[in-house]
Amino acid sequence: MDTPHLNFESFDGRLRRAAEDALGSLRELGGTRKPVPVTLDPQIAAALARFLDAALERGGVAYGPLGTELSPSQAGKILGLSRPLVVRRMEDGRLPFHYVGTHRRCTLGDVLGLKAREDERNRLMGEIYQDFEEIGDIDSEPSP
């Protein structure tokens, strides 16, 4: 099974200003009905291309600040888990959380970090399983 890879990028001051300029241009063009050329910094263009590639490949993308607070149900949608399994990961310490009143909340950054760790663990377990299958195939061959 192909799992998405999470990439985190940060913008320095120069790149942040270029991104803000590009965003301003894109917002101005949002209501037009004809294509209009936009000049983008090469790094901004590459980031936009990666965003669009992900959206097309996966049928959509989710984005937001890494500090965004999520409920266990929202985290479950990202992780591909039920709400009770997300709560279990919170309670066993795999997913940091805090209470807002009586409600559990975790951050998007922590959810993405957990997803990356679990995806990597699942990939490694798959490799181990394949190795054992290969060993089993060798052992099951008749000996001379």
pLDDT of residue 50: 84
Reduce the secondary structure of the chain to three states and give it as a string. CCCCCCCCCCCCHHHHHHHHHHHHHHHHHCCCCCCCCCCCCHHHHHHHHHHHHHHHHHCCCCCCCCCCEECHHHHHHHHCCCHHHHHHHHHCCCCCCEEECCEEEEEHHHHHHHHHHHHHHHHHHHHHHHHHHHHHHHHCCCCC
Q: How far is residue 76's CA from residue 80's CA, in Å, rounded to a whole number?
A: 6
> Which of 43, 54, 35 is CA-nearest to residue 14?
43
pLDDT of residue 70: 95
Token reading at 106: 């975790």
CB 66 within 8 A of CB 108: yes
Token reading at 58: 């996966």
Q: How far is residue 98's CA from residue 84's CA, in Å, rounded to a whole number?
A: 16
Q: How far is residue 112's CA from residue 6's CA, in Å, rounded to a whole number?
A: 8
pLDDT of residue 84: 98
Average confidence (pLDDT) per 10 residues, the chain, 144 residues: 50 79 78 76 86 79 84 93 97 97 96 93 93 73 55
Domain ranges within the chain, ordered by starting residue: 13-58, 69-139
pLDDT of residue 1: 35
pLDDT of residue 57: 80
- Strand 103-107 relative to strand 98-100: parallel, antiparallel, unpaired? antiparallel
CATH numeric code, 69-139: 1.10.1660
